[in-house]
Structure 1
């Protein structure tokens, strides 16, 4: 799940929108996103309490002894993620074998994968419930100051397997540069073995944006993420797999194949 322009994040808690995205495994151009039409009647608006309860049921909500909400490894969410990861692993095994013979899908670059952070690598479920799905920079920073988010089920194992196969791992997140230390700490604590160092972890830097982004501090999510992927390619890599929970994580090209992880909790344009 990502995140460019976190301060402008748009929340979507609509059952219809969730149902439309939950089944998507591979990203395709032209897939519908959140519906911004204005309801003509209250009958067209899902009951918010019902939607939250459905989200909790989908994640298999449990509450631990410290009062923290946790998703269940046997939940429908975990099962859906496992199916996506199995397809991704099969694909990456084939891609890595081709790149090992300098084929690299015809590009000749070193094989690499790119992952978003929030709800792609790390699960924000407890934080989202804690703040009532109402993200603010202050509440998010306060959470990261005191807590680690768990890895999305199985994504740490898949990432570590890819690294062991010789596939370089990169992260591109819309988290601000000020959260670099928190993000590195959390990825490491949650079981990710590839180094999340400055060469492999890209965060949003609006104060001093990198020169390879022509849009500078005004980049949209798609411009920022696709532009950063283009930069990674310029370093001699072939991005064989791109993982994200938002379509904006995956749009804009510069990846051979993209994998959409489910996230009914919010929508980021």
Structure 2
């Protein structure tokens, strides 16, 4: 991933306590509590997160989310709306409002969707529990290279359906380029059929950033992701839908519609 973020558990606490602070997801962490009564108890927050995901533990001590959980039900509702939208888009070509990309308006742009990886297509839940919500690049890299993450419930079906109906699928992640091979393998194992090859899977490359990103190795998440989506559209695609679990996955334009997946575990600016 690597991610620049506050401690995951602190971010999760802020997410749960946002109504107390009067802040939104995009500005989490900006308010200073005046009393301990304004701060959700960390133990209670973890308990609530586990209940939301329907935590189960197998014989090896691995944590799984339940397909009957509130999380799974919420995701299913979002996916249903996304599929209805994609069906409607395919029926009424040319009714999108992309950034001049021309899908269906005589310019030959091809429909595409863009998806983040962590907690949009692959679920980090077990990793977060394994490290006690204390993300570090080292532990995350070890996990990605030695274990597979489960798919986000229902997302393989949605993505495969889109691909089968002529929509090109692109994956766009903040994971480093060095994690390309295990990430590609994990997507395949998780059931995603569209090829996550070099032309359709974008990872962050700080050593040799692509020329289409003016910010180079210093890109913020929004600059990196929006700039990459702009590049995708420059190749002749109209991004009809952009999927992410963070607002920073979705901001910056270059996508006709955005779909926000739930993630109470961490916040990425």
Same fold, judged at TM 0.5 (above): yes
The answer to whether the 8 A contact 1:99-1:108 is kept is no
Q: CA deviation at 1:247?
A: 0.1
Q: Give the Cα–Cα distance (whole angstroms) in 2 for the partners of residues 232 and 190 of structure 1.
A: 24
The answer to whether the 8 A contact 2:17-2:39 is kept is no
Query: Unmatched 5+ residue regions in structure 1?
Result: 22-29
Which secondary structure state, in structure 2, belongs to the residue aligned with residue 37 of structure 1? coil
Residue in structure 2 matching 1:17, options 15, 19, 26? 15
Aligned to 1:89: 83
The answer to whether the 8 A contact 1:114-1:172 is kept is yes
Which secondary structure state, in structure 1, belongs to the residue aligned with residue 81 of structure 2? helix
The answer to whether the 8 A contact 1:99-1:111 is kept is no
Residue in structure 2 matching 1:8, options 4, 7, 30? 4
TM-score computed with the length of structure 1 as normaliser: 0.90
Q: CA deviation at 1:7?
A: 4.3
Give deviations 1:30-87, integer Å, cap 9, x for gaps.
Answer: 9754142122221111100000000000000000121100000000000000000000
Which secondary structure state, in structure 1, belongs to the residue aligned with residue 92 of structure 2? helix
Query: How many pairs align?
Result: 256
Q: Give the Cα–Cα distance (whole angstroms) in 2 for the partners of residues 225 and 101 of structure 1.
A: 24
> Could you say if the C-alpha distance between residues 55 and 108 of structure 1 is closer, same or farther in structure 2, counting changes exceeding 3 Å?
same
Give deviations 1:108-161, integer Å, cap 9, x for gaps.
Answer: 510000000000000000000000111111101111122100100000100000
Please provide the CA RMSD for this pair: 2.0
> Could you say if the C-alpha distance between residues 7 and 152 of structure 1 is closer, same or farther in structure 2, counting changes exceeding 3 Å?
closer
The answer to whether the 8 A contact 1:99-1:110 is kept is no
Give 1:1-269 correspondences, 5 Å limit: 3=1, 6-10=2-6, 11=8, 12-14=11-13, 17-18=15-16, 32-99=26-93, 104=103, 106=105, 108-269=108-269
- Tell which has more relative contact order, 1 or 2 (C-alpha 8 A, sep 6+): 1
Q: Give the Cα–Cα distance (whole angstroms) in 2 for the partners of residues 120 and 31 of structure 1.
A: 17
The answer to whether the 8 A contact 2:94-2:104 is kept is no
Q: Give the Cα–Cα distance (whole angstroms) in 1 for the partners of residues 178 and 17 of structure 2.
A: 34
Which secondary structure state, in structure 1, belongs to the residue aligned with residue 28 of structure 2? coil
Q: Give the Cα–Cα distance (whole angstroms) in 2 for the partners of residues 170 and 258 of structure 1.
A: 14
Q: CA deviation at 1:100?
A: 8.6
Which secondary structure state, in structure 2, belongs to the residue aligned with residue 265 of structure 1? coil
Give deviations 1:191-211, integer Å, cap 9, x for gaps.
Answer: 000000000000000000000
Q: Give the Cα–Cα distance (whole angstroms) in 2 for the partners of residues 73 and 160 of structure 1.
A: 19
Q: CA deviation at 1:179?
A: 0.3
TM-score computed with the length of structure 2 as normaliser: 0.90
| Consecutive aligned runs of 4 or more in structure 1 exceeding 4 Å deviation | 100-103, 105-108
Query: Unmatched 5+ residue regions in structure 2?
Result: 97-101
Q: Give the Cα–Cα distance (whole angstroms) in 2 for the partners of residues 19 and 112 of structure 1.
A: 36
Q: Give the Cα–Cα distance (whole angstroms) in 2 for the partners of residues 135 and 31 of structure 1.
A: 19
